[in-house]
Amino acid sequence: MSLKKTLALASAVAAATIGISAGVAQADSPGAGCPSLYVVSIPGTWETGPARQPTPGMLGAVTGALASPTIRTDYVTYAATAFPWETQVYAASKRQAVDNARGLLETMQRTCVNTRFGIVGYSQGADAAGDLAAEIGSGLSPVRPERVAGVGLLSDPRRAATDVLIGPPVPGFGSGGPRMGGFGAVGDRTVTFCAPGDLYCATERDDFVTRIAGVTVQNSDAGSVDELLKRPDAGALWNELLGAGGVPTLQGQLSDQANAQRRDELAAFYGSGAHQNYQGYAVDAAGSTPTAWLAGWLRAKA
């Protein structure tokens, strides 16, 4: 099997490797004046769209507990799609979320000079929120890192093993691969949550099929396979694969038996509800759920 055919077969499972969200609710109404804390919330896949208002979905349990005259919450509208036959491929959809969230923060930064910022996201929204945080933390954004009070990511497809994980340990990292440069200057204010069994944020390190599919989806608007291989994250993954045996290792993970096992594992994952479980498990001794913990953490920063 040629390299391009092998990569093409690996990327065919991409639809099963990036977060898909559930749940809708009404968006918060912003308060008047300048808040002490401004929280930008990025919903997950299919929780918003270009032709409708964003809905809190999973993040409603966070923002609903932030109701206060000193805190304002806005939800980000973006394509929130995942598949090539939808309005945007995943990478373009996520980029739109980053751009729109950045725009909200820039506007608040100009208008309210003393307001600090919170950034939260779930699933694809966590992917976008994490990328925005990394951009700010590395000094590449007009948004100043000192204005960021906290970043909270629920089921981040780019979770790194070195990220500050709140809750029980989970294996590996996000299916899309870790952010190469981390969160920079906002790393000490960025926390992540990954439910046990949520494959979007906990892909095993030696699962090269899922990891290649995830990186392909992350770069799904980048062009050909040849162009993809020039990207730093793809190059790092390719070097790691070479160290683990190269193309024969990948071909072994694409055998009929391996594919059948993967289908069974994915079916069990989708049936488990692990990706929607961020109000259903405890992350501390007090029994706080991820959404409750994140809401309390942000509320204390107002």
SS3 track for 33-69: CCCCEEEEEECCCCCCECCECCCCHHHHHHHHHHCEC
Check residues 25 and 10 and name the one with the higher pLDDT: 10
CA distance 193 to 168: 9
Query: CA gyration radius for the chain?
Result: 19
CA distances from 169 to 1, 65, 192 (A): 37, 26, 11
Q: What is the pTM of this model?
A: 0.80
At residue 19, the pLDDT reads 39
Residue 254 corresponds to which amino acid? L
Percent of the chain with pLDDT over 90: 53
DSSP for 245-290 reads TSHHHHHHTTSHHHHHHHHHHHHHHHHHTGGG-TTSS--STT---H
Lowest mean pLDDT segment, chosen from 73-87, 185-199, 221-235: 221-235
- For residue range 174-204, list pLDDT tens digits in order: 988 889 889 999 999 999 999 999 999 998 7
At residue 25, the pLDDT reads 31
Position 4 pLDDT exceeds 50: no
Task: Classify domain 19-203+273-299 by CATH architecture.
Answer: 3-Layer(aba) Sandwich (3.40)
* Residue appearing with tokens 């993954």: 237
Position 159 pLDDT exceeds 60: yes
At residue 85, the pLDDT reads 64
- Mean pLDDT value across residues 104-111: 96
Domain boundaries, the chain: 3-11+205-272, 19-203+273-299
CA distance 132 to 118: 12
Check residues 211 and 112 and name the one with the higher pLDDT: 112
At residue 244, the pLDDT reads 63
CA distance 233 to 58: 29
Position 13 pLDDT exceeds 70: no
